[in-house]
Amino acid sequence: MLAAASPFGRKEAFSLLKSLSPKRRLIPFEAARLLATGDPMVWETAAAMARAMREQVFGRRIVLFAPLYLSNECSNNCLYCGFRRENREARRITLSPEAAVAEARFLEKKGYHRLLLVTGEHPTRTQPAYIGDVLRAIYRETKMRILHVNAAPMTVDDLRMVKEAGAGVYQVFQETYHPETYAAMHPSGAKADFAWRLTCMDRAIPAGFGDVGIGALLGLYDYRYEVLSVLRHAEHLLEAYGTFPHTISVPRFKKAFGSPLSSAPFPVSDAEFERIVILYRLSVPSAGVVVTTREPAALRERVLDIGASQISAGSKTDPGGYAEGRRRHEAEQFEVDDTRPMEEIVRRVLAKGYLPSLCTSCYRKRRTGNTFTEMAVDGHIRDFCLPNALLSLAEYAVAAEDATLREESLAAAREARKEMEGSPLLPEFDRKFAFVLEGGRDQCF
């Protein structure tokens, strides 16, 4: 497809980009043509459309979350990862369910309500039953509202067990969709099986995961091939199950302690990274486009203006790292670039005119899978995103230790409430909002 895709002329590109909407997304061949287009004016317009697209689907809210690393024990040997089996210098840690609860409590105090549990793949330390135990323990012992999982591909039965333990989104990145590169990067272990990984979501969805997350690890192969493959994967999920992936992540290679790959074989520049975010947003309007703390602060701020909708904040990639409090290279997966704490991220998101959201409502009100995809495309999800973002922001503000941050957050929430004038949800919203200001928790639509 890449070879056949000719660049767009400016006029043709403008008229296509202006016609896009949540119901008229960029199709993969158009995405290939856009990728072949170098004209900066075209990309400027595409960036503006990507931002408009995100606002039509989700409004101004930006979802915040944190990863919780459970284990760095792994029997695979991915060349890029610090958790690989042959990294003899790594300090191996697998959190007990109690230790995972301690990490979750730490993050709960910081104001997070959604976490992404991340683990290596080890035949005895990180089995599905262990992940299930951790999920149940965190839900039981904390007020964490939704836990997503990024772990190895599993069988349908195992995926069902993890789902039944309360997982929200199941996330697996293909790393590279290029089979030869995949074979070179994954020389041994269960992960060497390309097809088992590629078909993971074809098991996860039948196992009950309405919401799945996909992505390619940028830097392993030609990014244009990877991006089109991610889009093709997304189209497959829509064709086969009626639902787009709930999230598309944009992880980019980072040098990892103890990994033999000291630099990306196909480096992706910041400008290319931006184009990838734009393409994902224009091609899969309903997806959460996720940019993590792998990226530098300035780029993370920029991607908010061009279609990203979810960012992690204050992350640690070593199991137990939150409670530990100091950096441990020898146990982390890769080096985090944006080390700003949650409070600073909230402040910056507000300063840029967006609404930091700690909302978890859709998973809990069963607006998931194809229901979510349809509501998002019809422009109905944003009707929920605004009040839910404001209620979660107000709850965050009331608990915030920093008085200035509290005032800034509440002022932004009150100002944004004006956008609800005329909404049938307004009277109920005002009741819930007043309740939250009095210290009430967990209010949503």
294 binds ligand SAM per the rule CB under 6 A: yes
Cβ proximity to ligand SAM: between 214 and 400 the closer is: 214
177 binds ligand SF4 per the rule CB under 6 A: no
386 binds ligand SAM per the rule CB under 6 A: no
- Candidate list 14, 173, 257, 266; residue touching ligand SAM; CB under 6 A: 173
Question: What sign has the CA pseudo-torsion 135, 138, 140, 143?
Answer: negative
Of 31-39, 150-158, 234-242, 413-421, the window that binds ligand SAM (rule: CB under 6 A) is: 150-158
| Residue ranges in 74-93 that form contacts with ligand SAM under rule CB under 6 A | 80-81, 83
- Candidate list 61, 114, 160, 191; residue touching ligand SF4; CB under 6 A: 191
Closest-CA residue to 371 (of 214, 242, 232): 242
Query: Partners of 115 in the beta sheet?
Result: 66, 147
For residues 85 and 149, give the distance between their C-alpha atoms in angstroms, rounded to a whole number: 21
- Residue 347 is classified by DSSP as H
334 binds, among ligand SAM, ligand SF4, none (CB under 5 to 8 A by kind): ligand SAM
Cβ proximity to ligand SF4: between 73 and 395 the closer is: 73
The DSSP secondary structure of 2-14, one letter per residue, reads TTT-PPPPHHHHH
- To the nearest whole angstrom, how small is the minimum distance from the Cβ of residue 130 to ligand SF4? 15
Cβ proximity to ligand SAM: between 37 and 87 the closer is: 87
Structure tokens at 318: 């070593």
- To the nearest whole angstrom, how small is the minimum distance from the Cβ of residue 196 to ligand SF4? 12
84 binds ligand SF4 per the rule CB under 6 A: yes
Identify the residue whose tokens are 């262990």: 130
338 binds ligand SF4 per the rule CB under 6 A: no
For residues 172 and 193, give the distance between their C-alpha atoms in angstroms, rounded to a whole number: 14
CA distances from 55 to 41, 61, 300 (A): 21, 8, 17
Closest-CA residue to 432 (of 402, 405, 393): 393
Residue 235 host element (H or E): helix 223-241
Task: List CB contacts of 246: < 8 A, sequence separation 6 or more.
Answer: 169, 210, 211, 212, 213, 287, 288, 368, 372
- Candidate list 28, 59, 111, 120; residue touching ligand SF4; CB under 6 A: 120
83 binds ligand SF4 per the rule CB under 6 A: yes
185 binds ligand SF4 per the rule CB under 6 A: no
For residues 214 and 221, give the distance between their C-alpha atoms in angstroms, rounded to a whole number: 17
Contacts with ligand SAM by CB under 6 A lie at: 80-81, 83, 118, 120-121, 150-152, 172-173, 175, 217, 251, 253-254, 256, 294, 333-334
Contacts with ligand SF4 by CB under 6 A lie at: 74, 76, 78, 81, 83-84, 120-121, 191
